[in-house]
Amino acid sequence: LCVAFLILVALMLRAPFITYPNVTEYDEVTYANYAMHMVDGKPFVDIHPPLARILFAEVARKSEPIATRALDMTFNRPYGDFPIANERLLIALFGILLPLIFYAISRTLGSLPRVALLVGLFVATDNGMIIFSRVMLPDMLLLCFSFLALLCILMFVRTKKNSLGLLIGAGVTIGLALSVKWTALGMLMVILFTLLIHKRIGAALVVGTLACFVYIVVFASMLLVYFPFGGHASNFANEADR
């Protein structure tokens, strides 16, 4: 009942009117341009790892045909035929998942269901979490992957038997988080420190190795799949690119 209620609250605060406003919000315009340039096979420069851009590009590719031209780099401009509703819906799904992850973390740490529900509700009803669950930005992906990895590790250290599946889950999800933004290094350090204080050195090596492997695979996939022939990387906001 607690989980069902938490899903209902998160869903009601994230899914309705997902297309509103149908204009550029925050850095959405940047990621929309990233997606169109990746679909068009046009190299560009970005300081962040590529996983969020890959997901956005694939959502755009599977949507209605779009014109692969850059959007105006300003706020409150219409998206035209870019499938912003589908992109925002993807993020909303992760926004619904995040309160459930916090509920599970709280239960793993020994909280009663009603206390864990309160923890999840804080996340589900937080204004910032609601906003970032309704825009085409990578932050909700980062949070979900990072705390899912932490959940796997907490379950691992609290179980009496070693579980390779939990270690693999932690390594893969923290690797995915690193593939969204490098700020996930902070959570990786928390995870490794947690394993080390529990004297699980081998487990720490497994998680760290898997995280690096996933990051390399994601980065290599972007280069090989989207830009197999390389090309001159130019600023996608140049007038010539529009």
| Each residue's pLDDT tens digit, 109-166 | 999 999 999 999 999 999 999 999 998 899 999 999 999 999 999 999 987 667 889 9
Residue 238 has a CB neighbour count (10 Å cut-off) of 10
Q: What is the pLDDT of residues 33-65, one digit of tens each?
A: 888 888 877 766 777 888 999 999 888 888 766
- C-alpha–C-alpha distance, residues 183 and 46, integer Å: 15
- C-alpha–C-alpha distance, residues 17 and 177, integer Å: 28
Global confidence as pTM: 0.86
pLDDT bucket at 241, cuts 50 / 70 / 90 = very low
Name the least confident of 28-37, 48-57, 71-80, 81-90.
Answer: 71-80
Name the least confident of 165-179, 195-209, 218-232.
Answer: 218-232
The percentage of residues in the chain with a pLDDT greater than 70, rounded to a whole number, is 89
- C-alpha–C-alpha distance, residues 167 and 156, integer Å: 7
Residue 232, pLDDT > 70, answer no
pLDDT bucket at 236, cuts 50 / 70 / 90 = very low
